[in-house]
C-alpha cells in the first residue's frame, strides 16, 4: 500500500500489521527450513494481485488500515523472540506491499539470529530481489498458472515476471519452495502441469520442493468445486516424471513426508503441520549420507 505524497512514495501500512500469529513453519508452507520450528507470521492490508480465490481476501483486497495497531520493528522482533520463534514470516498478504517495514524488521531479526521468510506471489522486481538477498533466507512463491493471459486477465499479474522472479531468487541464494494451488478446469491440465514441473526442474532445480495445494470454494469462487485428491496425485505423478525430488500435497489429509531422493529412507515424518520424526543428520540422510537440499541450521 503505497501512496505518492508530494512526490514522495510513502508506505501507508508501515507499522500497521493486521494479522499476526505464531505458526509452524510447515504452514507457510516451507518443508525444507528448520522443520517443526515456530514462525512469527504477519501481514498488512493490500495486494498487487486480484486473485478471485484469495484465501486472505478480507485483508488483501481492502485498503482500510487500522492505525490503532502500531507495532515497531523492534517490538516485532522482541515478540518473535518471546514466542520462541526461529523465523519471521512476511505473509497473509503480498509482502512486497510493505517491503520497507518488512526489511526494517528483517534486518533486526537477522542480527538476533532469526531467519526471514517471504510468502509471495513472485511479482518482485530484479532490484527488490537483489536487495532481499541480503536479509531474506527463504521464500515460498506461488506459481498459480501456466497461462499468461489467465495471469494478466484474472489475477492481474504476469507469468513471465513470476518465472523471472523464481529464477532470480534461486540464483541469489534464497531458499525457494514453489506452491501451486490447483483449481480443476482452471490450471490443472496435464499440459500446464507438465510445463510447470519442467520449468521447476530445469530452471530452478530438481531439489526445489513443489507444494500442490487443493483449492476450496472461497471469495469470488465460492461456487467452484473443491479440488479432489486424485487431481493432486495426478500432478504429483507429472512432477515426479519431470524429475522433481520433493513434491508435497497440501490442504488434504495426506502426510507430507520427506524421503531421501537417493535411497528413499523416510527422513521427516509429518502429520498435518506437525513433525513427528526428524532423522536428518546435519542436513544429510542418516542411511546413505546424501545431502538433502534445504536450510537446516
Ligand atoms: Zn539416503
Residue bearing cell 542480527: 111
**Fold (topology level) of 16-278:** TIM Barrel (3.20.20)
Grid cell at residue 289: 549420507
DSSP structure class, residue 247: E
In terms of phi and psi (left: phi > 0; alpha: psi -120 to 50; beta: otherwise), the region of 275 is beta
- Compute, in angstroms, the gap from residue 296 CA to the centroid of ligand 1: 16
- Compute, in angstroms, the gap from residue 175 CA to the centroid of ligand 1: 21
- Compute, in angstroms, the gap from residue 261 CA to the centroid of ligand 1: 7
Residues 6+ apart with CB under 8 A from 119: 28, 89, 90, 91, 92, 95, 139, 140
- CA 5 to chain CA mean position, Å: 32
Are 162 and 192 within 8 A, CB to CB? no
Residue 167: its H or E element? helix 159-171
- Compute, in angstroms, the gap from residue 297 CA to the centroid of ligand 1: 19
User: Parallel, antiparallel, or unpaired for β 115-120 and 138-142?
Assistant: parallel
The pLDDT value recorded for residue 253 is 86
- Compute, in angstroms, the gap from residue 286 CA to the centroid of ligand 1: 7
* Coil, helix or strand at residue 8: strand
- Compute, in angstroms, the gap from residue 247 CA to the centroid of ligand 1: 17
Are 109 and 92 within 8 A, CB to CB? no
- Compute, in angstroms, the gap from residue 48 CA to the centroid of ligand 1: 42
Q: In 82-136, which ranges are E strands?
A: 87-90, 115-120
Residue 113: its H or E element? none
- Compute, in angstroms, the gap from residue 264 CA to the centroid of ligand 1: 6
The pLDDT value recorded for residue 156 is 96
Closest CA to 235 of 196, 177, 293: 196
- Compute, in angstroms, the gap from residue 180 CA to the centroid of ligand 1: 27
- Rounded to 5°, the CA angle 6-7-10 comes to 85
The pLDDT value recorded for residue 45 is 96
Residues of the chain with pLDDT under 70: 1-10
Q: What is the rounded distance in angstroms from the CA atom of residue 103 to the CA atom of residue 222?
A: 35
List the chain domain ranges: 16-278
Q: Using N-to-C axis directions, what is the helix angle for 190-199 and 229-241, rounded to 10°?
A: 50
Q: What is the rounded distance in angstroms from the CA atom of residue 134 to the CA atom of residue 106?
A: 10
Q: What is the rounded distance in angstroms from the CA atom of residue 285 to the CA atom of residue 279?
A: 8
The pLDDT value recorded for residue 51 is 96
The pLDDT value recorded for residue 6 is 58
Q: Could you read off the pLDDT of 243-276 as tens digits, one per residue?
A: 999 999 999 988 799 999 999 999 999 998 999 9
Q: What is the rounded distance in angstroms from the CA atom of residue 289 to the CA atom of residue 251?
A: 31
Amino acid at each position: 500500500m503505497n501512496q505518492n505524497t508530494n512526490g514522495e512514495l510513502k508506505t501507508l501500512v508501515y507499522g500497521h500489521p493486521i494479522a499476526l500469529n505464531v505458526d509452524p513453519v510447515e504452514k507457510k508452507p516451507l518443508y525444507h527450513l528448520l522443520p517443526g520450528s515456530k514462525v512469527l507470521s504477519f501481514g498488512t492490508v493490500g495486494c498487487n494481485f486480484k486473485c478471485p480465490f484469495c484465501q486472505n481476501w478480507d485483508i488483501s483486497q481492502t485498503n482500510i488500515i487500522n492505525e490503532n495497531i502500531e507495532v515497531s520493528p523492534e517490538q516485532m522482533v522482541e515478540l518473535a523472540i518471546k514466542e520462541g520463534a526461529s523465523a519471521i514470516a512476511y505473509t497473509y498478504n503480498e509482502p512486497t506491499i510493505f517491503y520497507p517495514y518488512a526489511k526494517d524488521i528483517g534486518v533486526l531479526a537477522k542480527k538476533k539470529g532469526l531467519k526471514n521468510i517471504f510468502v509471495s506471489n513472485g511479482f518482485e522486481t530484479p532490484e527488490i530481489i537483489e536487495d532481499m538477498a541480503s536479509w531474506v533466507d527463504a521464500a515460498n512463491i506461488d506459481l498459480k498458472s501456466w497461462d499468461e493471459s489467465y495471469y494478466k486477465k484474472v489475477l492481474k499479474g504476469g507469468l513471465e515476471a513470476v518465472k523471472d522472479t523464481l529464477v532470480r531468487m534461486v540464483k541469489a541464494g534464497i531458499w525457494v519452495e514453489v506452491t501451486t494451488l490447483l483449481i480443476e478446469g482452471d490450471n490443472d491440465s496435464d499440459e500446464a502441469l507438465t510445463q510447470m514441473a519442467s520449468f521447476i526442474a530445469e530452471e530452478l532445480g530438481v531439489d526445489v520442493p513443489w507444494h500442490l495445494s487443493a483449492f476450496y470454494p472461497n471469495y469470488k469462487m465460492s461456487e467452484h468445486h473443491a479440488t479432489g485428491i486424485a487431481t493432486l496425485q495426478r500432478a504429483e505423478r507429472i512432477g515426479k516424471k519431470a524429475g522433481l525430488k520433493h513434491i508435497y500435497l497440501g490442504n488434504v489429509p495426506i502426510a507430507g513426508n520427506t524421503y531421501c531422493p537417493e535411497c528413499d529412507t523416510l527422513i521427516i515424518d509429518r502429520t498435518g503441520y506437525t513433525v513427528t520424526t526428524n532423522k536428518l543428520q546435519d542436513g544429510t540422510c542418516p542411511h546413505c549420507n546424501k545431502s538433502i537440499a534445504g536450510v537446516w541450521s
